[in-house]
């Protein structure tokens, strides 16, 4: 099949979720607005996630995987997905499925006009502490980056692959994807998507990851913005 869209699924110790991930993503491939394939990125899971991923890929032609030899974090998993993607569009969704794969179709409606389309979680089903720390972190990041995005932590995004592959990722930078597209003079927008409570597995982020870590990452972003190289080739011989 001539696939047009790759969905990256970062995985770290999600054995309790993967059966549902297979079911929901397989169902989505049948209603997707573009021919779609799935790329699991196993971030060095220590449970049975890898065996489950291989079983899923063996019985579904549109599913594939890469496995890290050790845990490297969410940003590294997303970056590897960008590196290995061979379709014109790439997106990602968390393996906890707190967002719905079907909502990719809402984002894909706008990708002809924009270079990144991100979801913004409406009516979030998280705890008060998680919601407030996320809201504060987003406010701090927005003040630093001026990207105008309300919820860059939303794990539902679609990006033109040519832009995604030019993002110089480092740990924590997955929160700055819209800002990194803007550095390339690309266009970004956000679209409301549904949000659901986690029903299996364990959350990988605490207060440090959601609030204090992102504050430190803002300074890393400012350094990168100052040093960022961007060019356009006008002619080639």
Tell me the per-residue pLDDT of 79-122, one tens digit each, with 9 for 90 and over.
999 999 999 999 999 999 999 999 999 999 999 999 999 999 87
Higher-confidence residue of 104 and 197: namely 104
3-state secondary structure of 5: strand
pLDDT band at 165 (very low <50, low <70, confident <90, very high): very high
- Measured distance CA(101)–CA(194) in Å, rounded: 10
**93 touches 101 (CB < 8 A):** yes
- Measured distance CA(84)–CA(41) in Å, rounded: 10
H-assigned helices in the chain:
18-31, 49-59, 74-84, 104-108, 128-145, 161-164, 177-183, 207, 213-227
Structure tokens at 184: 């390339």
Residue with tokens 């309790």: 16
User: Torsion over CA of 75, 81, 83 and 89, rounded to 10 degrees?
Assistant: -120
Average pLDDT over residues 34-42: 98
The pTM (predicted TM-score) of the whole model is: 0.84
Q: Is the predicted pLDDT of residue 62 greater than 80, yes or no?
A: yes
Q: What one-character DSSP code corresponds to residue 103? A: G
If one counts every other C-beta atom within 10 angstroms of the C-beta of residue 236, the result is 4
- Measured distance CA(144)–CA(140) in Å, rounded: 6
- Measured distance CA(88)–CA(90) in Å, rounded: 7
Dihedral pair phi/psi, residue 26, rounded to 5°: -65, -40
- Domains with residue ranges and CATH for the chain: 5-227 (3.90.550.10)
State the number of CA atoms in the 13 A half-sphere of 202 facing the CB: 6
Structure tokens at 208: 């440090």
């Amino acid at each position: 099949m001539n696939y047009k869209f790759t969905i990256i699924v970062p995985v770290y110790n999600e054995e309790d979720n993967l059966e549902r991930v297979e079911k929901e993503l397989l169902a989505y491939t049948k209603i997707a607005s573009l021919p779609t394939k799935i790329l699991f990125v196993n971030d060095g899971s220590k449970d049975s996630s890898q065996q489950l991923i291989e079983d899923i890929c063996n019985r579904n032609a549109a599913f594939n995987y890469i496995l890290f030899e050790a845990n490297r974090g969410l940003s590294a998993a997303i970056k590897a997905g960008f590196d290995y993607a061979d379709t014109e569009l790439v997106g990602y969704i968390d393996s906890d499925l707190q967002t719905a794969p079907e909502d990719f179709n809402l984002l894909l409606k706008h990708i002809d006009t924009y270079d990144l389309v991100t979801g913004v979680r409406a009516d979030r089903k998280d705890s008060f502490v998680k919601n407030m720390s996320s809201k504060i972190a987003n406010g701090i990041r927005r003040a630093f980056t001026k990207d105008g995005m309300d919820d860059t932590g939303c794990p539902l995004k679609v990006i033109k692959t040519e832009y995604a592959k030019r993002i110089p990722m480092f740990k924590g930078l997955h929160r700055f994807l819209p800002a990194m597209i803007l550095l390339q003079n690309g266009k970004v927008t956000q679209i409301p998507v549904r949000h659901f409570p986690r029903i299996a597995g364990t959350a990988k982020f605490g207060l440090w990851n959601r609030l204090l870590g992102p504050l430190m990452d803002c300074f890393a972003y400012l350094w990168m913005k100052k040093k960022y190289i961007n060019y356009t080739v006008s002619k080639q011989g």
